[in-house]
Structure 1
Amino acid sequence: MKETVKKKMVVLTGAGISAESGLKTFRDADGLWEGYNVYDVATPEAWGRNPALVQTFYNERRKQVLEAEPNDAHRGIAKLESQYEVTVITQNIDDLHERGGSSSVIHLHGIITRSQSDLNPALTYPIEGWELRMGEYCELGSQLRAHVVWFGEAVPMIEEAARICAEAEVFVLIGSSLAVYPAAGLIDFVPRHCPKYIIDPRIPEVRNRSGIIPIAENAVAGVRTLLKRLLPEGSTSA
């Protein structure tokens, strides 16, 4: 019997999907991230001015991530792998997609559960527990910092993500306002004929409206709706 070839699905996720696991975003109404101005804790300049503050900030965020649990939206995306070849591209720095069961995840902005060399960002290491201390060094003798892309830094995975989006046969956007570039521009690489599901209470403006299928719900409810549309009956409970 000939094996069925699965369609390529690309799922691009933003902060909205992790918010339902209790993780906040600096895009909250007050413009702060857990009480901090992002430019004081999430730029190379901030690291240069006060590395201990930046390290403490990301230690606190890492602790929150490790205490959080994947929600039904994360688990629902993993369920789609039964019928599709799914690649998740996430703007989030948590590991909830992996813990939710997804097998192919690209982290555009890094992942907080790893550290990286201050001299060579290609040198990354797993972090045991939640705390990364000042005085912990990479093999080059440089201080380790969170493996997170800060404002003003290049996004190393963006070209690979654009290539994957250009090959999409089904595209899903979840929990993103499409306000942060270059990630927001990835939808422009998706083929015009490809169906594009957008899950968010406030559907963002998209330059090319061709193929847009809006689902104006939060991530968990929206993914549940998506599963009912895309998976066979009886396999849709997230």
Structure 2
Amino acid sequence: MKNLVFLTGAGISAESGLKTFRDANGLWEGHDVMKVASYEGFQQNPELVLDFYNQRRRQLLTVHPNAAHKQIAAFQKDFNVTVITQNVDDLHERAGSKHIIHLHGELLKARSLVEDHLIYEWKEDILIGTTNSKNQQLRPHIVWFGEAVPEMQSAVSVVEKADILVIVGTSLQVYPAAGLIDYASNAQQIFYIDQHPADTKYFNKNIHIIAEKATKGLPVLNQLLGY
């Protein structure tokens, strides 16, 4: 089986009703992203940051995978599929995808503020005073701006082995995630599905653009791959 690798971003989850990371004016739900998505922001106003992610977590529990998530999972019948996602939701998991790398963390997990390797499944609110058994404050298991991306090397290794790389629903503006394309040296085909695709000339790759939202673009990909 060929190795089929997907790199997914906010656009695929937006079709399930989740808000995209930020709108045109650089705000996320009315907040400066650095105030709710950085460790400095957390230090300055932990209640604001925790409440922000509590709201995101509650919303996530009300939505469902869409046809694009399900189509990606369906490719597992014919390919070795790995999904590398910039999204912090669990919609790929719920759609049935088995091999998923979360670059930016997972909203339905929490971790210790003291020992970041202590990670817990988490669906409830996190408040000041929400602690683990060691009495350590918990925080969202999210990679904030300025923090290391622990799964990056795993993602690089997967992309290096890709026979086919498919980018779905991402602006290709967030690094280091966007830089993963540079490692697709063995990929025989690269596809980019996005309603408003970014300029790809800087990547020096032959990229087939499908200018559609994910739910419409993935059936086109299915046909192009002959399935």
On whether the aligned pair clears a TM of 0.5, the verdict is yes
Residue 27 of structure 2 aligns to a residue whose secondary structure is coil
Residue 50 of structure 2 aligns to a residue whose secondary structure is helix
TM-score, structure 1 as length reference: 0.91
- Corresponding position of 2:170: 176
Identify the match of residue 108 of structure 2 among 98, 107, 113. Answer: 113
Residue 127 of structure 2 aligns to a residue whose secondary structure is coil
- Corresponding position of 2:85: 90
Deviates more, 1:110-119 or 1:20-29: 20-29
Residue 115 of structure 1 aligns to a residue whose secondary structure is strand
Offset from partner CA, 1:32-62 (integer Å, 9 cap, x none): 1111111111110111111111111100000
Aligned length: 226
Runs of 4+ in 1 over 4 A off after TM superposition: none
Q: Percent same amino acid among aligned pairs?
A: 47
What is the CA-CA distance between 1:231 and the residue it aligns to? 4.9
Residue 70 of structure 1 aligns to a residue whose secondary structure is coil
Offset from partner CA, 1:10-40 (integer Å, 9 cap, x none): 1000111011111112331232111111111
What is the CA-CA distance between 1:208 and the residue it aligns to? 3.4
Gaps of 5+ in 2: none
Within the alignment, does 1:218 sit opposite 2:213 as a pair? yes
Residue 74 of structure 1 aligns to a residue whose secondary structure is helix
What is the CA-CA distance between 1:83 and the residue it aligns to? 0.5
Residue 67 of structure 1 aligns to a residue whose secondary structure is coil
RMSD: 1.4
Residue 12 of structure 2 aligns to a residue whose secondary structure is helix
Contact 1:193/1:211, CA 8 A, preserved across alignment: no
Offset from partner CA, 1:194-236 (integer Å, 9 cap, x none): 200100122222323433111010111011211222253xxxx
TM-score, structure 2 as length reference: 0.95
Query: 5 Å matches for 1:32-71?
Result: 32-71=27-66
Gaps of 5+ in 1: 1-5, 233-238
Within the alignment, does 1:188 sit opposite 2:172 as a pair? no
- Corresponding position of 2:129: 135
Q: Distance in 2 between matches of 1:193 and 1:32?
A: 36
Q: Distance in 2 between matches of 1:146 and 1:25?
A: 18
> CA 1:105 to 1:193, structure 2 compared with 1: closer, same or farther past 3 Å?
closer
AA paired with 1:151? F
Within the alignment, does 1:227 sit opposite 2:222 as a pair? yes
